[in-house]
Structure 1
Amino acid sequence: MARAATAAATRSPSLLRAALLLLLLAASCRRAAGAPVVTELRCQCLQTLQGIHFKNIQSVKVTPPGPHCGQTEVIVTLKNGQAACLNPEAPMVKKIIDKMLNKGSTN
Structure 2
Amino acid sequence: MAPATRLFLRSAMLMLLLLLVATHRQATGAVLATELRCQCPKTIPRINFEEIQSLKVTTPGPHCTQTEVIATLKNGQDVCLNPEAPLVQRIIQKILKPTRPS
* TM-score bin, normalised by smaller chain: 0.5 to 0.7
Write the distance in 2 (CA, Å) between the matches of 1:42 and 1:91: 25
Asked whether the 8 Å contact 1:56–1:79 carries over to 2, the reply is yes
The 1:84/1:72 distance shift into structure 2, 3 A limit, reads: same
User: 2:86 aligns to what?
Assistant: 91
- The TM-score normalised by the length of structure 1 is 0.60
Matched ranges for 1:94-105 at <5 A: 94-102=89-97, 105=98
| Residue 49 (structure 1) aligned to one of 41, 44, 58 | 44
- 5+ residue gaps, structure 2, are 1-30
Superposed CA RMSD in Å reads 1.9
The one-letter amino acid paired with 2:79 is A
Alignment length, in residue pairs?
Answer: 69
Other structure's SS at 1:60 match: strand
Q: Distance in 1 between matches of 2:32 and 2:87?
A: 29
Which position in structure 2 is the counterpart of 1:81? 76
Cα distance between partner residues in 2 of 1:79 and 1:97 = 17
Give the superposition deviation at 1:97.
0.4
Corresponding residue for 1:106? Answer: 99
Identity of aligned pairs, percent? 65
**1:1-40 alignment to 2 at 5 Å?**
40=35
SS in 2 for 1:106: coil
- Secondary structure of the residue that 1:93 maps to in structure 2? helix
User: Is residue 58 from structure 1 mapped to residue 36 from structure 2 by the alignment?
Assistant: no
